[in-house]
Chain A
Amino acid sequence: MASMQFDQHISQEFNDELEQVKTRMLEMGGSVLQQLQDSVRALEHADSSLADKVLEEEAEIDKMEMEIDEACTLLIARRQPAASDLRMVMAVSKAVCDLERIGDEAHRVAKMAINLSEEGTAPRGYVEIRHIANSVCAMLNKSLDAFARYDVDAALDTLAEDRQVDMDYKSALRELVTYMMEDPRSITRVMNIMWTLRALERAGDHSKNICEQVVYLVKGKDIRHGNLDEAQA
């Protein structure tokens, strides 16, 4: 698609600046994905030192967010981008915000990992966490990939996957509630599992937002808050 060629401006510097904000956003996405995977692994293996690493590295993610946002602001001030360039800057700026929030969710999962590791491993609920975590990490990976390739179809497919994550989340909650009813002594621990699932489900929502930005970037259509069928039309 011709309009997605960001390297053809008369100004080479403009090309570089646009390329750079996009590349840095994708780098940040890679780091966030790593954080999310590490936090889930820390939880599964009751590895509190890995969880500590996730907590420490969150500051790095925050720094990246601010730097990329500043680069976007400067780009708008200097270049007054229009059309696809403008959509690129806006999409990057919003995606960066979602990535930072996913970083926050990873932070939450890491904290739960520390809490749960102090209590010893609990077999119940971990299957659900692993399942949902795998889906969410795959979603994030695909949404970043769709952004990198300007692939609307991939973005729409990934959007659809969020429905499945939401359904899995709800059924996991139902199951966890029955655990709590069976054994009230497990409530604290099961609540931690629930918060973790909640954090993962939120991370899925943010990945979905990134996919919506991909559609906006490529097609110029704002599909937020609409239903998926409309977006696919």
Chain B
Amino acid sequence: MTSIATEQAGEMLISKTERTESQVVRDIEHGETVGEPLMEDAKMSVRNTDVFYGDKQAIFGVDLDIGKNQVIAMIGPSGCGKSTFLRCLNRMNDTVEGCRVSGELTLDGSDIYSKKMDVVALRARIGMVFQKPNPFPKSIYDNVAYGPRLHGLASRRGELDEIVENSLRRASLWDEVKDRLHSPGTGLSGGQQQRLCIARAIAVSPEVILMDEPCSALDPIATARIEELIAELRENYTIAIVTHSMQQAARVSQRTAYFHLGHLVEVNDTEKVFTSPEHELTEAYITGRFG
């Protein structure tokens, strides 16, 4: 009796798995993004973008607009291309051997992959915060002052002090470090280091901030601080965040983009994605049915 029941259960399980996989294949072949990937008055626009690592295609024909002063969250299982996509947005993929990006990517209407584009200046306009806090082995002050110095944003020492203080304040770190600005940044706690990296990113007054799993190495309290910070930063910056935490995406973003095997499956208002997503794959992923 038991073995028959187990066998039946096994068969059921196999048929369900097959169904899911056939959905995936169908989706890849006829994959059109459901929801509302495009919008008016976008800060950044991505059209028909493919990304290859050598012969292997990692991103397939993505069309997406990133709205001004909005947080857009990119979610999806590991290897779905969300980080790759994020790195296209400030040409971080240029540094990856064999990586090729095609399509049209614009910031305020100007092509960021054009030959005339100064990549260093571009990355000042589109800052990035990484998964692991990566402060320079310098003092807290110099970490934040590095960008403004590089881009010649301050002509006097006083001006630089001001930029450093403002950036640290906006990153909610000032009160914790104001008495030890000249001690090494690496001596801070993980959460403080990540906020230092955010301060460093905003010191050069970027327009867009890209965040690649900024809280995955942090404890819940530090995570809450960063999330609070994202909500404040949204008033002045456009933010694109890649996260593995679905709850985090639900909390911090206004729009959510779901990637699957290199395809952009669904883009919708975050509220909609987390209460009644349009696409089956999105539903399956956010409810933990596979992924």
- Give complex CA distance A17, B274 in Å: 20
Chain B residues with CB under 8 A of A11 = 288
Contact among B274, B282, B291 with A86 in the assembled complex (CB-CB below 8 Å)? B274
- Give complex CA distance A82, B273 in Å: 9
Chain A residues with CB under 8 A of B182 = none
Chain A residues with CB under 8 A of B19 = 2
Residue A9 at the B interface, CB < 8 A? Answer: yes
Contact among B23, B276, B291 with A83 in the assembled complex (CB-CB below 8 Å)? B276
Residue B38 at the A interface, CB < 8 A? Answer: no
> Would you call A83 and B277 a contact (CB within 8 A)?
yes
Chain A residues with CB under 8 A of B286 = 82-83
- Give complex CA distance A9, B290 in Å: 7
Residue B27 at the A interface, CB < 8 A? Answer: no
Chain B 279-291 interface mask (CB, 8 Å, partner A; 1/0): 0101110111111
Residue B95 at the A interface, CB < 8 A? Answer: no
Answer whether A3 and B283 are a contact pair too, CB < 8 Å, given A9-B289, A83-B275: yes
Answer whether A8 and B289 are a contact pair too, CB < 8 Å, given A83-B276, A86-B275: yes
Kindly name the residue among B283, B287, B288, B291 whose own CB sees the greatest number of chain A CB atoms within 10 A: B287
Contact among A2, A82, A84, A219 with B250 in the assembled complex (CB-CB below 8 Å)? A82
Chain B residues with CB under 8 A of A130 = none
Question: Which residue on chain A has the smallest CB distance to residue B16?
Answer: A8
> Would you call B287 and A9 a contact (CB within 8 A)?
yes
B: number of interface residues (CB 8 Å): 21
Kindly name the residue among A2, A5, A80, A87 whose own CB sees the greatest number of chain B CB atoms within 10 A: A2
| B1 smallest CB distance to A (angstroms) | 21
Answer whether A9 and B283 are a contact pair too, CB < 8 Å, given A86-B274, A86-B275, A220-B276: no
> Would you call A84 and B280 a contact (CB within 8 A)?
no
Residue A179 at the B interface, CB < 8 A? Answer: no
Question: Which residue on chain B has the smallest CB distance to residue A90?
Answer: B275
Question: Which residue on chain A has the smallest CB distance to residue B245?
Answer: A80
Residue A10 at the B interface, CB < 8 A? Answer: yes
| B190 smallest CB distance to A (angstroms) | 24
Answer whether A82 and B287 are a contact pair too, CB < 8 Å, given A8-B16, A87-B275, A220-B275: yes
> Would you call A2 and B280 a contact (CB within 8 A)?
yes
Residue A81 at the B interface, CB < 8 A? Answer: yes
Residue B247 at the A interface, CB < 8 A? Answer: yes
Chain A residues with CB under 8 A of B246 = 80, 82
| B291 smallest CB distance to A (angstroms) | 8
Residue A14 at the B interface, CB < 8 A? Answer: yes
Contact among A2, A5, A10, A87 with B288 in the assembled complex (CB-CB below 8 Å)? A10
Contact among B23, B250, B274, B288 with A14 in the assembled complex (CB-CB below 8 Å)? B288
Residue A69 at the B interface, CB < 8 A? Answer: no
Question: Which residue on chain B has the smallest CB distance to residue A220?
Answer: B276
| B81 smallest CB distance to A (angstroms) | 21
Chain B residues with CB under 8 A of A65 = none
- Give complex CA distance A34, B161 in Å: 76
Residue A85 at the B interface, CB < 8 A? Answer: yes
Task: Name 14 interchain pairs, CB-CB below 8 A, sorted by A.
Answer: A2-B19, A2-B283, A2-B284, A5-B16, A10-B288, A10-B289, A81-B287, A83-B282, A84-B283, A84-B287, A86-B274, A86-B275, A87-B276, A219-B276
- The 10 A-B pairs with the shortest beta carbon distances in the complex, nearest first, are A220-B276, A82-B286, A8-B289, A3-B283, A85-B287, A2-B280, A82-B274, A83-B283, A9-B288, A83-B287
By a beta-carbon cutoff of 8 Å, the part of chain B in contact with chain A is 16, 19, 23, 246-247, 250, 273-277, 280, 282-284, 286-291
By a beta-carbon cutoff of 8 Å, the part of chain A in contact with chain B is 2-3, 5, 8-11, 14, 80-87, 219-221
